[in-house]
Each structure stands twice: as C-alpha cells, then as structure tokens.
Amino acid sequence: MKAVVVGGGIIGLCSAYYLQQSGWEVTVLDRDDLSDNCSFGNAGMIVPSHFTPLASPGIIAQGIRWMFDSKSPFYVRPALSLPLAKWGLQFIRHANQKNVEQGAPYLRDLSLLSYHLYQELANQPGFQFAFEQKGILMYFKTARTEDEESHLAVKARSLGLDAELISPDQIKVLEPGLQMDILGAVHYRCDAHLYPPALMQQLMKTFIKKGGRIRTHCPITHIQTQNSQIKKLSTDKEDFHADLFVLSAGAWMSTLAKMAGISIPLMPGKGYSITEKNPAFKLNIPAILCEARVAITPMNGYMRYGGTMEIASVNNRIHRKRVEGIIESIPKYFPNLSLKMPDTKDIWFGFRPCSPDGLPYIGFSRKLKNLIFAGGHSMMGLGLGPATGRVVSDLANGHPLPVGIDAFNPERFS
C-alpha cells in the first residue's frame, strides 16, 4: 500500500514515520527543502499542560488591547481578506468556556500520548534529541495572573496532570543563581522538552534509511479527484498516485484543501525565536513568562527565546518591534538574564497553522475517502506530532485509536 504525505514538518514526518512502521510505502512531498520549517525553530516543549485552546475566554478583550501595542505578543493584522474575516468570526464565536471544556480532555489525551511516544523514540537507536523530563515553570508577576494560573493548575490536577503552585524560595532551589522579579510560578512536572533540529533530522534520516522517499521543492499545483477519492496529486516536476493521501501542510493546508474542494478555515500565526549559542547563564527548567507570553528553553547547550502570535497571511517580513517585545520582557522577570537585539539574519520566524477554535484537524475527509487531514495544531505542533502521526497510522490501517479525536473533526466548520 502506498501513501503520500503532503508536508514535511513534524506532523508530516511523524505521520510518515508511523505509517512506514506499520508497513506502508510512503513518499513525503514538501514545497521547500525541510531545512527551516516551523518545526525547527519552535520552543521544543512537550506540554500536556497546554490543554486550553487558543480560542478561550478573555482572549478577545486582551487581543483588542494588544492591537495598539507594536510589541504585544498577540496581534491580528487588519486586511481586506475574506478568509481572515470568516476565520475571525469563527474565532470570536469559539472564544468561550464551553470550547475550553469540550476541547481540554482531547488535547490532554493527545499530549500525554505524544509524551509517551517521545519517551519511546528517545530509546530507539538513531534518536538522540536532548529529550529532558523536567517539566516547565509558568512564571507570573501580577496578582491577577497568579489567580488565573492558580485556577488553571487546579483544572490541570482535575485532569490528572502534575501541577503545583510554588513560591520564589522554592524556585531558587530549582534555579540557583537566577535573579527573579516575580510573585511565583506553577511547576508543570507533566511536561518535557527537546532540541527540535536534532529530532527533525533524525526522523528524516530514519525514514529515508528504511526506504521512505522525500521530494523537496514540490509545491502541489493540482489535485485531481474522481469517485470520491483523490486520484492524483500534480507538481511541476511529476504526478503522484497513491492509495492514501495525508494533508499535513501546516499553514498551507487551507489552500491545498481548497484545491480538493474542501473548506478548512485556517490562518498562519507568525512566531519568532532567537537562539543564543553561548549563554552566560542557562536555565535548568524551561520557562514561560505568562504576562509576556514568552517561552525560554534550554536545549542542547543553547538557550532559545520565542514568542508572539501574529495572525496574517504568509509573508517574509520580520517585524522587529515584535522581537523587541520578546527581548525586553526577559529582564523584567529575570534581571540577570538579558539578550541583545540580534541582527535580522539571526531572527528565525515560522507560521503556526491556527484553526478558529484552537483545535487541530485530524481525521478522514467525509468527501474524499482516501484523504486524511493532520494539521492546524497552532503552537502545539511539536508537542502533538508523534500522537498525531500514530493516530494517522491507526486510521489508515483501520485500527482502534489510542485516543478520541471527535473534537478534531477536520470538516467541523463545513
């Protein structure tokens, strides 16, 4: 049986890996060269703690306030765009507690499955991607955020996750030498982190070694359908036929779905990161600065700083003010931890594929019976990659699924 996976990010590679493991002959197609997609430059966090979808209570009001701050962590760039308008209306409709309550158990289960699959991968020959199980620390500076994070920690524990509110004195034991201007933190011991470039390179190497094919610089130009199936994918280089097609094309998923006559609302959310190669001080445990929405991850001897969610069409412009916002926030929490504004060439950016309700799209198409969608994971692509790949493989083989995916119905907005 032959499968074609469209998209070579973490979701696509994990889908290809687990399909191959179950006996499929797999080809991965990517529009670029796989060297610098969103899966390479992210914060490297595996986060069962992130069970709250992006569309959640309070985000609209907060987003409106942030619209007037050029350094804010969340921004929707105004544009005369029908897809953006439709996406925005759906986002507003789903930014409520009901969406959170319905989605949280599904996100938790998918995240925990990924966590366990990462543990398995880390013990496989050929995989050494600096996987560390130290949890993450959610730092807060204000009483309001402390109250919000305390409630989230209670909710996390009700979902079976290991979360504890800790004081600055307790943090000093975990992070000796770190100067802090904070009220406290929540330690999510259920989380982990890794070094994304190593993981991606090792997935590709293992996949190719076992007979998998990767075709780079192959943007899809046409999708031919017949009798409720995809018959052929065309690129400007060659045509591809298969028994199964997996659409895991990240921020380009919506455009490709449209070629197949299917509406999948999705907008790119641009994020930035800076990797410090010789940090003077290195954190022991990954951190999220709650009010600033900035992530800091020690990984493979480096320190990576990342943040922002800029909803707009795909573009290659680097908004330095957004990067300044990331850098300026760090010493406000940790006075002895600072980062200089890098040259533009040293700023990485990527596009997170964001659905209107903050939940991924995973499952078979209702319209095309040999098409599986796997995308729309927003900021959690790396964390949910192996679990999504495993689910794709089980769907393709007709096996019982390890987790429920009802909330991830890919055509739920149709």
pLDDT recorded at residue 41: 87
Binning the chain into helix, strand and coil, the percentages to the nearest 5 are 35, 25, 40
Q: What is the DSSP letter of 373?
A: E
Strand, coil or helix: 410 = coil
Rounded-to-integer distance, Cα 173 and Cα 229, Å:
58
Round to whole Å and give the CA distance between 77 and 61.
16
Q: CA 169, CA 146: separation in Å to the nearest integer?
A: 16
Give the pLDDT score at 99. Answer: 87
pLDDT score, position 410: 96
Q: What is the pLDDT of residue 54?
A: 82
List, in sequence order, every residue forming a beta bridge with 352; answer none if it has no partner. 269
Which of 90, 58, 54 has the alpha carbon at shortest distance from 356? 90
Cβ contact 93:59 at 8 Å = no
- Say how far apart CA 189 and CA 172 lie, in whole Å: 16
What's the confidence (pLDDT) of residue 45?
96
Angle at 275 between CA 266 and CA 42, to 5 degrees: 25
Tally of CB atoms within 10 A around 170: 14
Report phi then psi at 156, rounded to 5.
-60, -45
pLDDT of residue 250: 93
Is residue 116 within a helix (H) or strand (E), and if so which, with residue range? Answer: helix 97-122
Domains of the chain plus CATH, in order, are: 2-408 (3.50.50.60)
Q: What is the pLDDT along the chain (414 residues), one digit of tens a residue?
A: 999 999 999 999 999 999 999 999 999 999 988 876 767 889 999 999 999 888 777 777 676 676 667 777 777 777 778 888 888 889 889 988 898 899 999 999 999 999 999 999 999 999 999 999 999 999 999 999 999 999 999 999 999 999 999 999 999 999 999 999 999 999 999 999 999 999 999 999 999 999 999 999 999 999 999 999 999 999 998 999 999 999 999 999 999 999 999 999 999 999 999 999 989 899 999 999 999 999 999 999 999 999 988 888 888 888 889 999 999 999 999 999 988 999 999 999 999 999 999 999 999 999 999 999 999 999 999 999 999 999 999 999 999 999 999 999 999 998
Distances from the Cα of 334 to the Cα of 193, 272, 293, angstroms: 21, 20, 15
**pTM, entire model:** 0.95
